[in-house]
């Protein structure tokens, strides 16, 4: 078990830090053996400008959340907490805290594997090299874009699409340590408080995840994994940000409220609407050098979108919209299954329709529950057809079987226990792989993190959580966007990119490694939402032998 020390500025911790330490204790891969408490805590910089402090106070009050990541808890209240405490009087300079040689000698006797920084100021010197795997510290921002702070502030003020967060092993350079975990969330456009609350809650699980991976993978494989995050410069030359002065804060505040006021008015008068688009006979594409690695199933997608030859399959309806299309061909007939959303009740059912002679014959509801249903993932198993729709409102996934295809379906029962967004199944190496989005914390977004489970059986499965979960922690490629498909050596996972907004566009992820102890993928192609002049987003794509379907988002 890994021996862990924690740097603090006193007995109290923010709730997100308390949750992090609780998770470490609960999982049992590391033991918190030592609390290293500063007896002279100071701020890392100058006092923030007055107008910035006024803005933050108002923002906290207006956008107060029930699950506040910054509420205070006592570290001694951690369950089964037996760690000892060492009091440190750091040698303090303008912005840094150094640890005296006497205190360093005392710390060495504890033989620490990891020290997690939840206090102190900028650290320098031998303390950074004392634990075997370094001093771990959070930076709530993308260090390749900005250093300094305030955390999660400038992303809102500058209107950036995403807010990054990292866990790093500290070095002598500020925000330029070795990154061991990296994640991105959609930036809240209105509130720094809400933006930070969501990001801090999500980030509190980074350290427990990396401790678990280190324990399970071993030192060598763990180092190889984190080395993959160093594929580009860390960005030490990125801008150093600080709280804005009075005039700058006033200008930012005015711009924030004007932009959001215009956005809210626009969204009020133009409501979200989804449509289904189809291409039944996509044009063939000549293979050139740049397309050699592209599976044949992707070429018509690229060509159709570039040629803008998609047309809405289901006409606009003021009371309903249709999204999440899945296509299936059987007995010379083509069927579409999709989310059928009632705008008045704000709840959806699953419907299907036959596609014939360029149009849908009839829309027929087939599954309706007291809860919202969407993403009707269809699967054939031993000659029978099954539907696995999203039912995240219930905190579980249900399995439905076709009793009389395609009109009559029966619910077999709970198929997966737990919150699951856009459940997507893939069969490979005699195993069933289930890809789902889940929230690491209820205050977090369902768009950010992809989890993987596997089972030896499809019916009555026993799901095993993948040791690398979540396998993706990035709002730009986490959430599933359709069936996984293969061509030759390539395995393609369609993924939603909701960095700009929900349902912005689709990324086609090439899965490089899929095993019981490893997962790796990379972006192969991006499907923009420019296949129709009225469409501003798309988030599901599927295909059959003769058809390609996707959905389109607009505001009408």
pLDDT of 293 above 50: no
Contact (CB, 8 A) for 243 and 50:
no
Residue 118 has pLDDT above 90, yes or no: yes
CA distances from 111 to 120, 127, 220, 346, 523 (A): 21, 13, 20, 57, 41
Angle between helix axes 192-203 and 50-62 (nearest 10 degrees) is 70
Q: Percent of the chain scored above 90 by pLDDT?
A: 74
pLDDT at 343 over 70: yes
13-22, 48-57, 174-183, 344-353: which has the minimum mean pLDDT?
174-183
**pLDDT-based confidence at residue 533 (cuts at 50, 70, 90):** confident
pLDDT in tens, 141-165: 998 888 888 999 999 999 999 999 9
Q: How far, in Å, CA of 192 to CA of 551, rounded?
A: 32
pTM listed for this prediction: 0.92
pLDDT (average), residues 331-335? 92
pLDDT at 19 over 90: yes
Closest among 483, 482, 479 to 451, alpha carbons compared: 479
pLDDT above 80 (res 299):
no
Please, which residues have CB within 8 angstroms of residue 460's CB and are 6 or more apart in sequence? none
Strands 464-465 and 449-455, sheet pairing = antiparallel
Token pair of 100 as six digits:
């005296």
- In the chain, the percentage of residues whose pLDDT exceeds 70 is 91
Q: In angstroms, rounded to a whole number, what is the distance separating the alpha carbons of residues 484 and 490?
A: 11
Q: Which residues of 501-511 are buried (b: 16+ CB within 10 A; e: fewer)?
A: ebbbbbbbbbb
479 burial level (CB within 10 Å; 0-12, 13-18, 19+): buried
DSSP β-bridge partners for residue 315: none
Is residue 294 scored above 60 in pLDDT?
A: no
**Average pLDDT of every residue of the chain:** 90
In order of their start, the domains of the chain are 2-243 (3.40.50.170), 270-555 (2.115.10.20)
232 vs 361, which has greater pLDDT? 361
Taking the C-alpha atoms of residue 142 and residue 166, their distance in angstroms, rounded to an integer, is 7
| pLDDT of 300 | 54
pLDDT at 288 exceeding the cut of 80: no
The span from the CA of 402 to the CA of 416, in Å, is 19
Degrees to nearest 5, angle at CA 356 with 483 and 317:
75
Would you give the end-to-end CA distance of the chain in angstroms? 57
Query: Would the pLDDT of 314 be above 50?
Result: yes
Region of poorest pLDDT, from 209-223, 311-325, 398-412: 311-325
């Amino acid at each position: 078990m890994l021996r862990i020390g924690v740097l603090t500025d006193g007995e109290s911790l923010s709730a997100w830090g308390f949750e992090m330490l609780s998770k470490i204790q609960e999982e049992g891969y590391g033991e918190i053996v030592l609390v290293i408490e500063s007896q002279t805590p100071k701020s890392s910089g100058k006092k923030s400008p007055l107008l910035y402090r006024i803005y933050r106070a108002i923002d906290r009050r207006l956008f107060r959340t029930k699950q506040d990541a910054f509420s205070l808890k006592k570290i001694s209240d951690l369950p089964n907490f037996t760690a000892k405490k060492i009091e440190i009087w750091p040698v303090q300079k303008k912005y840094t805290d150094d640890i005296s040689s006497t205190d360093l000698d005392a710390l060495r006797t504890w033989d620490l594997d990891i020290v997690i920084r939840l206090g102190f100021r900028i650290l320098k010197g031998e303390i950074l090299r004392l634990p075997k795997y370094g001093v771990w510290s959070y930076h709530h921002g993308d260090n390749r874009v900005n250093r300094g702070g305030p955390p999660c502030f400038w992303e809102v003020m500058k209107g950036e699409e995403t807010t990054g967060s990292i866990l790093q092993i500290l070095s002598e350079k500020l925000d330029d340590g070795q990154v061991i975990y990296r994640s991105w969330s959609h930036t809240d456009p209105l509130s720094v408080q809400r933006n930070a609350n969501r990001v801090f809650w999500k980030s509190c699980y980074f350290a427990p995840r990396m401790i678990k991976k280190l324990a399970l993978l071993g030192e060598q494989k763990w180092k190889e994994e984190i080395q993959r995050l160093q594929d580009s410069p860390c960005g030490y030359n990125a801008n150093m940000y600080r709280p804005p002065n009075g005039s700058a804060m006033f200008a930012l505040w005015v711009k924030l409220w004007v932009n959001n006021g215009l956005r809210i008015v626009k969204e009020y008068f133009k409501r979200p609407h989804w449509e289904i688009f189809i291409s039944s006979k996509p044009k063939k594409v000549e293979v050139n050098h740049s397309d050699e690695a592209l599976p044949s199933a992707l070429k018509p997608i690229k060509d159709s979108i570039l040629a803008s030859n998609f047309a809405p399959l289901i006409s606009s309806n003021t009371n309903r919209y249709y999204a999440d299309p899945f296509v299936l061909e059987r007995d010379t007939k083509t069927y579409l299954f999709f989310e059928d959303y009632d705008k008045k009740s704000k709840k959806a059912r699953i419907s299907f329709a036959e596609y014939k002679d360029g149009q849908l014959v009839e829309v027929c509801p087939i599954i309706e529950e007291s809860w919202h249903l969407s993403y009707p993932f269809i699967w054939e198993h031993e000659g029978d057809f099954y539907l696995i729709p999203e039912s995240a409102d219930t905190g579980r996934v249900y399995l439905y079987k076709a009793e009389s295809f395609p009109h009559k379906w029966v619910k077999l029962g709970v198929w997966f226990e737990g919150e699951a967004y856009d459940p997507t199944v893939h069969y490979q190496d005699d195993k069933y792989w289930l890809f789902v989005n889940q929230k690491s914390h209820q205050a977090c977004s369902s768009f950010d993190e992809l989890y993987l489970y596997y089972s030896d059986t499809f019916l009555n499965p026993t799901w095993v959580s993948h040791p690398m979960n979540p396998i993706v922690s990035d709002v730009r490629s986490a959430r599933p966007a359709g069936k996984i498909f293969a061509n030759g050596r390539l395995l393609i996972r369609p993924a939603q990119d909701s960095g700009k907004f929900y349902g912005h566009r689709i990324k086609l992820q090439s899965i490089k490694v899929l095993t019981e102890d490893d997962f790796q993928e990379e972006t192969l192609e991006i499907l923009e939402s420019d296949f129709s002049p009225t469409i501003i987003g798309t988030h599901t794509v599927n295909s059959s032998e003769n058809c390609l379907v996707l959905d389109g988002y607009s505001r009408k």
